[in-house]
Structure 1
Amino acid sequence: MREVVTVSNGYFTGLAEGLMDGSIDLDTASVKVSLVRGYTFSAAHRTVSDVTGAGGAINGTSAALTGKTVTGGVFDADDTTISATASASNHGLLLFQASASTGGADVAASSQRLIAWYDTGTGLPIQPGTGTVTVTWPASSPRILKVG
């Protein structure tokens, strides 16, 4: 098991829009994190299919985050795990809304809304090999992300 502590590296432009128009709901929707390699961050990307279309290769995705809280503009959740399926290097973490804003089953990658990208910080980029990667979110601000 590998411990990873992340810091905020980039929010996607669509996050602010989604929070304002209700198409992104951090505490109701299914939010997941994926290991991604070969991706160069672009704030203009809106969906998971934009990331894969830009050369990002997904190497495992967490279950929906649990214990989610949204308090004082800070989003947090329980630590999570990702099963890496390929032995490859230099992975970042992609945070995204996997379901509709109201929750339910995952939607197609072309509709999964991007939230944040993390590729710099303690334990990043990740060199997972194969097996389980533990993602330990920061215990203090910004936690997973802070808006405002």
Structure 2
Amino acid sequence: MANKFYPKGAEKILGGQVNFTTGTIAVAIVATGYTYSDAHEFLSDAGTLVGSPVVLAGKTVVGGVFDADDAAFGALAPGSTAKALVMYRDTGNPATSPLIAYLDEITGFPFNTNGGDVSVPWSDGPAKILSLV
């Protein structure tokens, strides 16, 4: 599968309910048991997460392209398989935190956790994390 916006997340972006520069935008690692669905709307739909989500810092929106500092998840307990990332606007409650995008075209994914630190370096290419152009 390719990186993809969640339809409800796209509605929220176009409706002005998600602001990438001022909102709390986070990413979470989903395990192999998660299957993307266009019907998923909130973080609670993503099932069991691998490790704790990371709030993105250093966010920028330039020319229709979203970028941020690399995401550092720290040490992840061994025994899980990290499948992809989900990006969402964090409201503090998984049941109301809207999913924005499913990101599975990330270098190094999928991978098995082994207790080591995990950092996700975003692309330095023209699309960065997300691009609307």
Same fold, TM-score > 0.5, yes or no: yes
What amino acid is aligned across from residue 112 of structure 2 in structure 1? Q
Deviations 1:34-71 (A, max 9, x none): 1111111112211011122xxxx201234311110011
Instruction: Map 1:9-88 to 2 at 5 A.
Output: 9-37=3-31, 38-52=33-47, 57-83=48-74, 84-88=76-80
1:29, distance to aligned residue in structure 2 (A): 1.1
The match for 2:131 is: 146
What amino acid is aligned across from residue 102 of structure 2 in structure 1? W
The match for 1:3 is: none
Contact 2:28 / 2:54 at 8 angstroms: preserved in 1?
no
For the residue of structure 1 that corresponds to 2:102, the secondary structure is: strand
Tell which has more relative contact order, 1 or 2 (C-alpha 8 A, sep 6+). Answer: 1
Q: CA RMSD in A?
A: 1.7
1:81, distance to aligned residue in structure 2 (A): 0.7
* Gaps in structure 1 of 5+ consecutive residues: 1-7, 100-105
The match for 2:110 is: 125
Could you tell me how far apart the structure 1 residues matched to 2:64 and 2:15 are?
A: 16
Contact 1:59 / 1:86 at 8 angstroms: preserved in 2?
no
Q: 1:28 to 1:45 in 2, by over 3 A?
A: same
* Residue 94 (str. 1) matches residue 86 (str. 2): yes
Contact 2:64 / 2:132 at 8 angstroms: preserved in 1?
yes
Q: Which runs of 4+ in 1 moved over 4 A?
A: none
Contact 1:74 / 1:145 at 8 angstroms: preserved in 2?
yes
* Gaps in structure 2 of 5+ consecutive residues: none
TM-score by length of 1: 0.79
1:17, distance to aligned residue in structure 2 (A): 0.9
